[in-house]
Structure 1
């Protein structure tokens, strides 16, 4: 069980004590002590609110305001019981009723009413209005603040922990101003209760004095009215302190200094203002019939303060000039570093035209930044690489409704996202109104239709996609196609450290003993280029370790890694346990092996161009026929030929999968040949 300290018990015990005040009669001596505690407690709250640098530094204030108000009302009940029962409520109330107001009933009533008016009409109303406006403005500003936090997080300027703390601070600020909006009503209700209790004491005391104690009207009024005024003053002074504290805390803007220090600095920031005020004060003292001494004292004091401000400003200017001279050399590197930061090329960037900034809406279902975070997680789980933070910014140079995707500062994709529209995909879109377009990833026929016609488009058989989904799909395609470029050496280092934590032997034997980090990066980039996931890094590193002992040629290392991942590669392209493949004609395959020549950039096939062209036509026709049947075939060939053949096929037919015989053999899948790729000589034969 968690141990509770004295501080943790003080508030619960205090609240229980307040409840006891309402039902248990108190002796006058104990009431005196509690009244002093009430005044002192209110003073501490007031001073704490003055020294708080920002409202959230005193976030418990609304709760303390409620407790203090209940405490004061409990004291009102206890003092009323003593006044009406005994005609005596302790020395403190007696002193306030006689000594503080000079024993005059009229003066006491006037002072009491003035305190009530100050608290109820001036401070409480003003504080309540400020709290209400502050709560409204804080809530209205929350989306913008959240968007700024998410933008900084996606740009890599802050960490997840810092973003979480800033979001919590924004939420706490909104909760605080909302609580203060309600807390100010406590103070207003307390002022009303003070007036009602005072009237009850006056009427009740007058009745009890005459009916039960046999006093005449003058004695009853003299006795009970003075006690009532004393009781009212004793409770209204702490109430006034709390009202003032409420006004201070809700009008307090975030600052680096407490209220006293900030006020002193800002009131003395203008020497001219002090001089004018001092001269004006002295001038008023020279008018006929005006007492000269007070005005002269104040005016001379302001002129002395103005002179001190002049001396202070001169010293500050001299110090600033000295610092500027001494730091001139240091300022140049700062300027250089700033330029370097501005020149820094971001790995992945989204540029939005100004009218698309509304896509960045924290908390919404179609929030772009939130969808980007989901995409980064999805790609990390699928490919095994961490996508770098995506920098999102607006650009006035872009046409309206246009976005641009950049990789390493180079534009790799562009599209349009018309406001108030959704993208409808399908073959029969003629009946739908809207602007015809092409889906940016697959080039499908599409049309931007009004968002209110979304249901009608779906009923017409179209697939409807919102604007953010279009952008995210395009971004996902760009990331997948350029995964090798996005995998930096620092990313490889981090991934390697992660493998080392769970499989240290696989890393320690490979890096840096057999391969450098750069060579490992080159292998992983080669795998990503062919769409091979690198999630299973332990297995990849073990395969590289065995291969690197005999050769460090990049093609050989990539093939060794692929062989280790063979079951994963074949499973990607199998359907219902069947792997449908296209094979090479044996004569053609033999010719390709004879034309295989190693180069610095990898192996290449040197063959008669007409034969290569005929082979590509045959492969294209067979693949199209298989796809029309609903199959996704892969081309298989000899292991030595796979890498070069993949590059050759990719140049003319995109990223078509090419596997080696050894990768397919150990897959455990049923292999079905759906076609044989031939060249011109084989076709002629």
Structure 2
């Protein structure tokens, strides 16, 4: 059955391709071959029906990508109309007749007065040329520029959503594909809008040619009185121009509708009425103004009064709906608060165990209660579930449930993230606004609330929903409040994952792994190492952003070296060397090259000679001025490479790696320090800098 459907679809596609090619060839044939009047009538009706179809399709289109063939279709319909113009001109000039359709249009519009018909034709041309075509062309031009400028920010937003787990790989690919198609569409529309403008210009020129040429041919060559010739060909010219310009006007309007559509996934009619009738106050005011006009002398009292009554009744109904919606919202908020109070009362009756601090918890102000509303599809509880799955797959820890509770001591928009009862991160959210990140400079062209993006400390601003579309068009990265919070929560968890890995969590990991690798676990614990010692090694790995997803390799390495080595720091180094493929891949550039910053041999020798062991790890004890020189040199190189956007690591000898990392942790936590033993032989290395000799 599937094969049959595929075959049928393939046949249909081939048939459509042949049909379109035939249509294009027929357009070219119309320019050369004369058409009889009945066939011309049929083609004119087809042109009018096609124009109406295109206009209505633009009204029912939810997204420009649903009509992505519109720019090419615009060119084909333009050529089709010009071909019909040429055919009708040939009939008018050779036979003095262009069929019933053109004749009927002429008599319907002009009637007994050819001047009226000419005026109406000129007005239609002016409307299309000056109003519709110019406006649609300008919108196409601006949309193309803004869409292209906004493309990097949108791609970063897609990558951010993918990294935070809000979308999967397939959804990310689809969104990138849609973004590329949308950019191509607006770029094509920027050029295709010129077709409509050229078509209108060509139509008016052909109209004057018909009038002048027909009058001269039939008055000078065939002896028809000049006034009779002007009347006859004036009507035919008006009819021919209207039959051409009306379909052109319809497609111009469709073009304008399509390029001015916003990014909502609704049809024009579906989105228009809720927005037009969104405020009862506006309708009340308009009703009052119309009522004033009804009372003024000279105005049609009945008509103005009926319209005022109609708007007043509509505004009353809208006001009742607004009150109902507000009541339902307040009721829902009270229900959520009541549920939280009930949970809090239940917890007060539990044992002392329930009063122990949570591994990780979230406290929110009363203005953010809606973020945890489980009745909504996109709520914080669902996002936390995704984060817990990400922690398991990306860094290898099993995160316990995260408690969410309100805190009246916080401001209404404030939240805090606590780990073991201590505040590790905090920020503010505005549920009725959106956070924008500048694509380059820090000057924001909006009136909003200036702030810092909580996860990465970037300059940002909270803007209203009315400015969201304009910010998107201008290239800003626009993020909703829930995404801002979820990203901050995820980054906080990843940065402090080592503090969330206790002995209980390690035991759960080992029990899960024991089903498939019980031999290495039974050998290692407790005969070689205790559970707490394994935990400390895992914490050391997480502290330097090394995932522990490959637990088998970690445990086997500890089993190999644990019999002779009891130093946790040294055991960690052995494990790091075993995980070198996992470690290095996070720091390679787009060419799979590892950019390294080395240390001057004299400096490395000085550090190696002054390593001091302590309970918190080894550290080089050198003079303060030498520490300052070392930090200044590293900072200079690091800032330079960061400005160039080049990923890099500090590559040192295995002897000083742990002590140097401990020394740099507080000043340069983002700099990865790798030893030579942690770089696989097949990885290409490029030296991009050297820390100066501080021993001078």
Please classify the TM superposition score into its range, dividing by the shorter chain length.
Answer: 0.5 to 0.7
State the match for 2:311 in structure 1: 305
Change (3 A) 1:207 1:541: same
Cα distance change on mapping 1:546 and 1:141 into 2, 3 Å: closer
DSSP 3-state at the match of 2:457: strand
SS of equivalent to 2:105: helix
Q: CA deviation at 1:73?
A: 0.9
Q: Which of the residues 393, 411, 414 maps onto 2:457? A: 393
| C-alpha spacing 1:171/1:537, structure 2 compared with 1 (3 Å) | closer
Distance in 1 of aligned mates of 2:57 and 2:194: 21
* Counterpart contact for 1:130–1:250, Cα < 8 Å: yes
Corresponding residue to 1:245 among 254, 270, 293: 254
Q: Who is 1:176 aligned against?
A: 185
In the alignment, the residues of structure 1 paired with residue 455 and residue 572 of structure 2 have an alpha-carbon distance, to the nearest angstrom, of 36
What is the root-mean-square deviation in Å for CA atoms of aligned residues? 5.9
The alignment partner of 2:97 has SS state of coil
1:306 positional shift: 1.9
Counterpart pick for 1:121 among 116, 120, 130: 130
Give the Å deviation of 1:72.
1.0
How far, CA to CA, are the matches of 2:35 and 2:504 in structure 1?
73
- Residue 92 of structure 1: how far off its partner (Å): 0.6
| TM-score normalised by length of structure 2 | 0.53
State the distance in 2 between where 1:28 and 1:143 align. 55
CA distance in 2, matches of 1:27, 1:657: 86
Tell me which residue corresponds to 1:269: 278
1:93 to 75, 91, 102: 102
Q: How much has 1:233 moved relative to structure 2? A: 0.6
Equivalent residue for 2:229? 220
Instruction: Report the alpha carbon displacement of residue 262 of structure 1 after superposing the two structures with TM.
Output: 3.1
Q: CA deviation at 1:56?
A: 3.9
Distance 2:270 2:675 in 1: 71
With over 3 angstroms needed to count, the CA separation of the structure-2 counterparts of 1:359 and 1:489, relative to structure 1, is farther
Distance change (3 Å), C-alpha of 1:647 and 1:123: closer
Kindly state the Cα deviation for residue 29 of structure 1 after the two structures are TM-superposed: 1.6
Query: 1:278, 1:298 within 8 Å by CA — same for their partners in 2?
Result: no
Distance 1:285 1:507, change over 3 A: same
The 2-side partners of 1:62 and 1:491 are apart by 59
Q: 2-side partners of 1:522 and 1:264: how far apart?
A: 61
The offset of 1:65, in angstroms, is 1.7
- Aligned residue for 1:608? none
Please state how far the C-alpha of 1:564 moved relative to its aligned partner. Answer: 14
> Residues 263 and 537 of structure 1: is their aligned pair in 2 closer, same or farther, counting only changes over 3 Å?
closer
Alignment pair present for 1:296 and 2:309: no
| Equivalent residues, number | 470
**Aligned equivalent of 1:72:** 81
Q: Which runs of 5+ in 2 are unaligned?
A: 1-6, 341-368, 373-379, 381-402, 406-414, 427-435, 441-453, 461-494, 585-614, 616-651, 666-672, 678-696
Partner of 1:232: 241
Cα contact 2:159–2:172 (8 A) shared by 1:
yes
Residue aligned with 1:88, SS: coil
Q: What aligned pairs does 1:482-631 form with structure 2 within 5 A after superposition?
A: 507=517, 522=535, 525=538, 528=541, 540=553, 543=556
The CA deviation at 1:562 is: 6.6
Aligned residue for 1:84, secondary structure, equals helix
Q: Within 2, Cα distance between the matches of 1:309 and 1:259?
A: 22
Can you list the C-alpha shifts for 1:324-377, whole angstroms capped at 9, x where unaligned? 32553336665685684954579xx999xxxxxx99969xxxxxxxxxxxxxxx
Q: Distance in 1 between matches of 2:181 and 2:278?
A: 33
Are 1:60 and 2:82 an aligned pair? no
Pick one of 195, 199, 204 that aligns with 1:195. Answer: 204
**Are the equivalent residues in 1 in contact too, given 2:277–2:318 (CA < 8 A)?**
no
Give the structure 2 partner of residue 412 of structure 1: none
The 8 Å contact of residues 553 and 579 in structure 2, kept in 1 or not, is answered as no
Classify 1:520/1:262 alpha carbon distance in 2 versus 1 (closer, same or farther; 3 Å). Answer: farther
Counterpart residue number, 1:134: 143
Determine the C-alpha separation between the residues in 2 that align with 1:359 and 1:75: 52
SS of 1:110's partner is helix
Cα–Cα, structure 1 residues 156 and 85, in superposed 2: closer, same or farther, change >3 Å?
A: same
Q: Considering only CA atoms, is the larger Rg found in Structure 1 or Structure 2?
A: 1
Q: Distance in 1 between matches of 2:323 and 2:84?
A: 56
Counterpart-to-counterpart distance in 1, 2:310 and 2:661: 85
Q: Offset at 1:535?
A: 11
**Quick check: 1:260 aligned with 2:273?**
no
Structure 2 Cα separation of the partners of residues 340 and 203 of structure 1: 82
- State the alpha-carbon separation in 1 of the partners of residues 653 and 573 from structure 2: 24
Deviation sequence 1:411-466 (CA, Å, 0-9, x none): xxxxxxxxxxxxxxxxxxxxxxxxxxxxxxxxxxxxxxxxxxxxxxxxxxxxxxxx
State the distance in 1 between where 2:674 and 2:107 align: 100
Q: Does 1:330 align with 2:336?
A: yes
